[in-house]
Structure 1
């Protein structure tokens, strides 16, 4: 009888935490697990866990959150805190403790991006696909942008290219990508995304930069894993097709709504990628969190 409550949108998407947090999510057999983490120095100030998984007793999530408070930002310490929280007989059906710890670490790990001049909000908008940003940035060869961020009346909205008319932020991103040696491509459907990632991989590409909404990534995380090409995603802003219940239309490339690129952040990442490429594939970000 608790399952409908834990599966409801009110629980899954509940806003229970203040702003200024770093977020991450992961899929488990038992459902989606989300973490929102506040970090100060190398200590977790607070961690908040939500999702559509089943947890019992009802106080279990609160117990986990309490155990994580004040824990050093180290994987073993976080795993130990989660295991301790479950030791009293608590159950998260289909969710391994190691996955909860990994989601918390992924969220908290975004703090390292602030050392590069990114704001906390910009750092939180990054989603690492398969490998850390340290791996992806010096190896990225393509920039994949969503068609839904082009103007509704753009003649090339459903085209890979851009006529550089300057009516939207695509012009600056395309030009900067070309200038720095990356190939920009507008992705026009989910099938086009798969084809593009396969083509990049078969052509010897090692990684990519891109942009999409967080909901799209969460829905297709297994597909990204199956395709096997590491990437770094900048989450878009604004209402999404998922918010409007139009994801099927968008999947087919027929969505007539509009999202917004975080073009300033994309430009920063393009320049950072070029800088790291000059230093070689072993270049590291300035802050390296302990495993």
Structure 2
């Protein structure tokens, strides 16, 4: 018979102390298998056992807001607890849940909790590695610790959640997939009150979860209380779990001389590894491993750190494999190779000494991906540069181009790239970075990129995916206050292109890393372009618009070919259906006739006269189409510079906030023509997220299946055909 207890609202250190006490007593056979429900008061942030507070928590914010900080005895990531959340725990022996390894027991328990939530009318499912989700949104995160035959497995149930407070408490970059960072985070989680429309009583929640666990695990239970021994041990030990010795017992490794730092991610979690290396003798003196992962036994990481002390660098891989071959251990979605790669990741930076980089500055190399540092540098063909390193006043800040005026380090980097026979590309959006990395992969190009550590950690998957497809590379750190260090709001601005802080490249390190490449001075002979407004759309350009020195040219769509195999489905798409272009255009004609407030957004490819006959013909055909639709509203998107609120949404689209002009005129149908593909993807995403409008793209290249309707390879002939249908 299992015992069930509800230990009420307690501060974090009492709840954590009880975790330790109950796990120990269960291992000694002094208490029965137990299901525990708990709450936290006051609100707090709890980091995982292997994490460092400074890396996971925004200490300035939580101290100001009175949010307490603690450490769990279980692994995994940092969690924010408000006073509404319900914690649940299982403290038991393996045999009582049918035995099995870490992953098997995790799945059984999570299925039981999900079954209980379904009894409340919430269609929850287990999502490996250790989450419970509702329609793709996380409602309960879980984790555990196994010691011998006993284990403690725990989770949280989001009841009525304050996402903004959570984001500001934790050092987690916001996923920038929508126009508002907080809204984006809300879309990835679910909570009971939002789904059901009301907040059930604690008793109703407890009953449902217990029945789910009973059915899944085949157990019987009775309600009970803490034993006198549990109560006594709690009073004796609780203060330790609020002490700095416990909460801060893992600290951020300082970036000091001979200390190298690296971030490695895998399906089992995130590793943050620092190593101290004797660079003269090539000896690993010390390694510190922390992060978001689950291993059993819990001291495995400490034992590995001790085992690797004073190991020759060339023997590290062998020693790690030897360590694991001699021990019984379990990890949630972890392999021995994950530990090998995580430890070698920072060690590879030591090659920078051969390039003349000062050992104090080796951490300015974020990563060498896919191969050794020097090998990647020798093969480097592409240089990726962040738009935020260009001055705010620069007309090229939001362009994949540079005037090389000498006013910033980006111009120096462009000249160095040409000197070394490389292709420099300014990255102006996440979509452009994604496409460019895949373009590198398709062409077998190795790259040198510039970003901050936080960006690399957040976007690790796209670099890893590109490497798997053939794009290896080196990433260097940047200088200055990044959007991540300024908080959620500035991070969101950076994604939309509105981040106004100017950063700098590490010019000295860049020059030293490229010493391994010969000078070739292969500066491409670009066609000199003079540009003016197209005569077909000049009358739509607002009088306040000031012509910049440079605007996005047709060449900027070149990286679109990198992803054609993934996005190109055929002549046209309507929602998820692949159709002929004639069927799509007929459907579009019907939509236009039925629309009350249709709008057409004309992008830089057609707003400007590029002197290309094909584009001129397309512009003429589009103007003919406009004349055929009297109720069509025309808006222009001449370039991709943020308007920062200084524009008229009735005649122009703001690149970072395209939804604003659609909402302003309540447009129910929006056609995008002449907008660069990487920017079109961004616009579609925001319009579909924040407006009820139907989104249509008449694309000159491979189309956009994420739009409601998209026609590929749209030329003048197809536009004239659409006009005839109207």
- Please give the TM-score of this superposition, normalised by the length of structure 1: 0.82
Task: From the superposition, tell whether residues 61 and 198 of structure 1 become closer, same or farther in structure 2 (CA, over 3 Å).
Answer: closer
1:119 aligns with 2:358: yes
1:261 aligns with 2:487: no
Q: Is the 8 A contact 1:78 1:105 kept in 2?
A: no
Task: From the superposition, tell whether residues 82 and 36 of structure 1 become closer, same or farther in structure 2 (CA, over 3 Å).
Answer: farther
Identify which range, 54-63 or 13-22, moves more after superposition.
Answer: 54-63
The alpha carbon displacement at 1:262 in A equals 0.6
1:31 to 262, 269, 272: 269
Give distance in 2, aligned partners of 1:135 and 1:272: 9
Q: Is the 8 A contact 1:55 1:93 kept in 2?
A: yes
C-alpha RMSD of the superposition: 2.8
Give distance in 1, aligned partners of 2:255 and 2:349: 17
The alpha carbon displacement at 1:275 in A equals 6.8
The alpha carbon displacement at 1:81 in A equals 5.8
Match of 2:48 in 1: 6
Task: From the superposition, tell whether residues 92 and 205 of structure 1 become closer, same or farther in structure 2 (CA, over 3 Å).
Answer: closer
1:77 aligns with 2:318: yes
1:272 aligns with 2:533: no
- Identify the structure with bigger relative contact order (alpha carbons < 8 Å, sequence gap 6+): 1
Task: Structure 1: state its 5+ residue gaps.
Answer: 277-291
User: How do 1:38-117 and structure 2 match up within 5 A?
Assistant: 38-40=276-278, 41-55=281-295, 59-73=299-313, 74-80=315-321, 82-83=323-324, 87=327, 91-117=330-356
Match of 1:232 in 2: 474
The alpha carbon displacement at 1:50 in A equals 1.6
Task: From the superposition, tell whether residues 102 and 205 of structure 1 become closer, same or farther in structure 2 (CA, over 3 Å).
Answer: closer
Match of 1:195 in 2: 435
Give distance in 2, aligned partners of 1:254 and 1:97: 43
Task: From the superposition, tell whether residues 96 and 275 of structure 1 become closer, same or farther in structure 2 (CA, over 3 Å).
Answer: farther
Aligned residues: 273
Give distance in 2, aligned partners of 1:232 and 1:18: 20
The alpha carbon displacement at 1:175 in A equals 1.2
1:41-61 CA distance string (max 9 Å, x none): 222111111212235555443
Runs of 4+, deviation exceeding 6 Å: none
Give distance in 1, aligned partners of 2:493 and 2:457: 17
Q: Is the 8 A contact 2:52 2:252 kept in 1?
A: no
1:110-130 CA distance string (max 9 Å, x none): 222202211123332221122
Match of 1:143 in 2: 383
Give distance in 2, aligned partners of 1:275 and 1:103: 35
The alpha carbon displacement at 1:10 in A equals 1.3
Give distance in 2, aligned partners of 1:67 and 1:230: 31
Give distance in 2, aligned partners of 1:79 and 1:132: 19
The alpha carbon displacement at 1:92 in A equals 4.6
SS of residue in 1 equivalent to 2:304:
helix
The alpha carbon displacement at 1:135 in A equals 3.2
- Please give the TM-score of this superposition, normalised by the length of structure 2: 0.35
Task: From the superposition, tell whether residues 64 and 170 of structure 1 become closer, same or farther in structure 2 (CA, over 3 Å).
Answer: same
Give distance in 1, aligned partners of 2:255 and 2:444: 40
1:231-280 CA distance string (max 9 Å, x none): 1111113332222234343234332333321111112223322379xxxx
Give distance in 2, aligned partners of 1:237 and 1:98: 33
1:15 aligns with 2:255: no
SS of residue in 2 equivalent to 1:4:
strand
The alpha carbon displacement at 1:9 in A equals 6.6
Give distance in 1, aligned partners of 2:295 and 2:253: 17
Specify the structure having the higher radius of gyration (Cα): 2
The alpha carbon displacement at 1:169 in A equals 1.2
The alpha carbon displacement at 1:35 in A equals 1.0
SS of residue in 1 equivalent to 2:343:
helix
Give distance in 1, aligned partners of 2:305 and 2:381: 40
Give distance in 2, aligned partners of 1:9 and 1:191: 32
The alpha carbon displacement at 1:26 in A equals 1.0
